[in-house]
Structure 1
Amino acid sequence: MNYHFDFNSVFRNMQPLWDGLGVTLQLTLAANAIGLTFGFIVALFLFNKYAILRMPFIAFVEFYRCTPAMVQIVWFFYCVPMMFNWFLPPVTMGIIALSLNLVAFNAEAYRSAIQNVPREHIDAGIALGFTPFQRIRYIILPTAFRSSLPVLLTNGIVIFQQSALVALVAVNDLMYAGKSLATNNFRPIETFTIVALIYFAISYPVSQFVGWMEKRREIMSS
């Protein structure tokens, strides 16, 4: 292999990558805020006793869990504006597309956690005269959130990584900035190596924290 590595060509032009990382973090944080909130709301509808209210949310979750994120993003960016004459800034479109995916996966995590809320806790809330909304707010939500937190954090890491897919639709995130820089400096190996290391540097500490949380919960439950 007669190739001379030159990482300095990347280090001298890091600003586009930092700008792209800012967009990636914006996409990730916004998608997680929406996913954590609306994921729980969707999970509650999954338990609705009326099929006419329950089935659309089941279909939503299954659709997003059973189709590739890349197809979802491309479809949302190109089909929604054509079908509904609805045009938004690219970053906003990216946030919505990623959020819908995360809502579905978080809803499933919440659903599993809600099923594991001890019945005694709910009965105690009923005995104390809590309304259904108060039982959800003070009993079900805190318990389910704590139980599902490792999965929610894992989903958050995944959406951070999947945010690179918005580069396909020309959102100027970290991956898109890396692709543009590699085209300009003719150093794709060095450029994409740096891009990969940036993703790793952010994802790895969070994944280690998730592992620590799971081990701690196992110790406390034993």
Structure 2
Amino acid sequence: MNYDFDWFYVKKGLPKLLEGLMVTLELTLWANAIGLVLGFLVALGMLTRIRLITWPLTAYIEFFRCTPALIQLVWFFFCVPILFNVWWSAEFMGILALGLNLAAFNAEAYRASIQSIPTAQTDACTALGLNVVQRIIFVILPQALLLSLPVLITNGIGIFQQSALVALISVQDLMYEGRYLATQTFRPIETLTTVALLYFAVSFPVSQMVTFVERRTSRLLQN
């Protein structure tokens, strides 16, 4: 392979890559906020026996789980303005699409965790006179979060990686800046390798946290 590596332009463009990384992290944080809250609400709705609630929620979950995130992102960016006559920024559309995608996956994690909570605790809530909201806030939510936390963190890492797709709708995230720098400098190997390392530098420590959380959770459940 006759290729001379030259990292000069990557070093020169590193500040722009770091700016893109900050945009990526911002997208990820907002998408996770939507995914955590909406996912829990969807899980609660799925546990009801009212078909007018469960059917639309099932359709929502299956749509976002069974279609590519890229299609969802592009659909939101191009179709929502046409159908609803709203003109939001590309960054907001990216957050919305990623957040709804994440919520669909988180909902299944929450639902499995809620169903694993012993029914004796529900009976205890009734005996204590707790209403539905109090049961959800003080009994169901803490345990659902604890039991599903490893899956929620893993899903969060996945959405961080999938956020690279927003570069296709001109959001100036890490992937966008990396692609632009590679095109301008004709150094795709050095640039995209650096971009990959930046994604890895964020994802790897968080992925290690999953193992730690799983161990802590198992100890708490055993006690």
TM-score bucket of the superposed structures, by smaller chain = over 0.9
Equivalent residue of 1:141, what SS?
helix
After superposing on structure 2, the runs of 4+ consecutive aligned residues of structure 1 that deviate more than 2 Å are 215-222
The whole-number CA distance in structure 2 between the counterparts of 1:18 and 1:194 is 11
- Which amino acid in the other structure matches residue 136 of structure 1? I
| Structure 2 unaligned blocks of 5 or more | none
Between the aligned partners of 1:33 and 1:219, the Cα distance in structure 2 is: 27
The 1-side partners of 2:47 and 2:127 are apart by 22
TM-score by length of 2: 0.96
Equivalent positions of 1:61-80 (< 5 A) are 61-80=61-80
Residues of 1 paired with 2:114 and 2:221: CA distance?
Answer: 18
2:43 is aligned to: 43
Which residue identity is paired with 1:36? L
Partners in 1 of 2:159 and 2:140 — Cα distance? Answer: 25
Matches within 5 A, 1:82-161: 82-161=82-161
Distance 1:121 1:220 in 2: 17
What's the CA shift for 1:215? 3.0
Structure 1: gaps (5+ residues): none
Take 1:61 and 1:159, find their aligned partners in 2: how far apart are those partners? 16
Deviation sequence 1:39-96 (CA, Å, 0-9, x none): 1001111012110111101110111011111111111111111222211011111110
Q: In structure 1, give the amino acid aligned to 2:60.
A: F
| Residue aligning to 2:33 | 33
- Once the two structures are TM-superposed, the CA of residue 217 in structure 1 deviates from its matched residue by 3.2
Distance in 1 between residues matched to 2:3 and 2:182, nearest whole Å: 16
Indicate the residue corresponding to 1:56 in structure 2: 56
Q: Which moved more, 1:113-122 or 1:157-166?
A: 113-122
Aligned mates of 2:55, 2:154 — CA distance in 1: 27
Letter in 2 for 1:47: L
Contact 2:24 2:173 in 1 (8 A): yes
Letter in 2 for 1:5: F
Partner of 2:7: 7
Whether the aligned pair in 1 keeps the contact of 2:147 and 2:217 (CA below 8 Å) is: no
Deviation at 1:36, TM superposition (A): 0.6
Match of 1:191 in 2: 191
**TM-score computed with the length of structure 1 as normaliser:** 0.97
State the partner residue of 1:212. Answer: 212
Q: Is the 8 A contact 2:31 2:96 kept in 1?
A: yes
1:168-179 matches, within 5 Å, as: 168-179=168-179
Deviation at 1:29, TM superposition (A): 0.3
Report the counterpart of residue 162 of structure 1 in structure 2. 162
* 5-14 vs 103-112, greater mean Cα deviation: 5-14
Code of the aligned partner of 1:212: F
Given that residues 146 and 217 in structure 2 are in contact (C-alpha distance below 8 angstroms), is that contact kept between their aligned partners in structure 1?
A: no
Q: Does 1:203 align with 2:195?
A: no
What is the Cα deviation at residue 28 of structure 1? 0.2
RMSD: 1.1
Shift of 1:8: 2.2
Would the aligned equivalents of 2:45 and 2:53 in 1 still touch at CA under 8 Å?
yes
Distance 2:34 2:143 in 1: 20
3-state SS of paired residue (2:13): coil
Give the secondary-structure state (helix, strand or coil) at the position aligned to 1:87: coil
Q: Secondary structure at the match of 1:12?
A: helix
